Amino acid sequence: MDILTLELFGVTASQALRELGQVLDRDPGIPLRIVGEDETVLHNVQRLLERRFRPFRLVSADARAWRVDAEAKPTATVPPSPPPPPPVLVLRSALTPGDRALGRRLLLGVLSHIRPGTPWVCLAHEALELLEDPLALEILGRLESQGIPMRVSAGSRAFHRLETAFDELEDVVWQDLAARGAVTVI
So what's the pLDDT on residue 130?
A: 95
What pLDDT shows up at residue 151?
Answer: 96
Of 87 and 82, the one with more pLDDT: 87
Q: pLDDT tens digits for 42-84?
A: 999 999 988 888 888 988 877 789 999 998 876 655 567 788 8
- Residue 29's pLDDT band, with cuts at 50, 70 and 90, is confident
Average of per-residue pLDDT across 26-33: 86
User: Tell me, what's the pLDDT at 134?
Assistant: 95
Name the residue ranges covered by the structural domains of the chain: 4-70, 88-185
Task: Return the CATH fold of 88-185.
Answer: Hypothetical Protein Ychn; Chain: A, (3.40.1260)
Whether the pLDDT of residue 1 is over 70: the answer is: no
What CA–CA distance (Å, rounded) separates 168 from 153?
6
**Each residue's pLDDT tens digit, 55-64:** 889 888 777 8
Span 38-44, average pLDDT: 90
Q: What is the structure's pLDDT at 79?
A: 66
**Burial state string for 77-113 with b = 16 or more CB within 10 A and e = fewer than 16:** eeeeeeeeebbbbbbbbbbeeeeeeebbeebbeebee
**What percentage of residues in the chain have a pLDDT greater than 90?**
62
Tell me the C-alpha distance between 28 and 72, whole Å.
Answer: 6
**Each residue's pLDDT tens digit, 145-182:** 999 999 999 999 999 888 888 999 999 999 999 999 99
What would the CATH number be for the domain defined by 4-70?
3.30.1370.110
What distance in Å separates the CA atoms of residue 90 and residue 126, rounded to the nearest whole number?
A: 9
Q: Report pLDDT digits (tens) over 105-148.
A: 999 999 999 999 999 999 999 999 999 999 999 999 999 999 99
Q: Indicate if 88-185 has the same CATH topology as 4-70.
A: no
Q: How does pLDDT run across 7-27, given as a tens digit for each residue?
A: 999 999 899 999 999 988 888
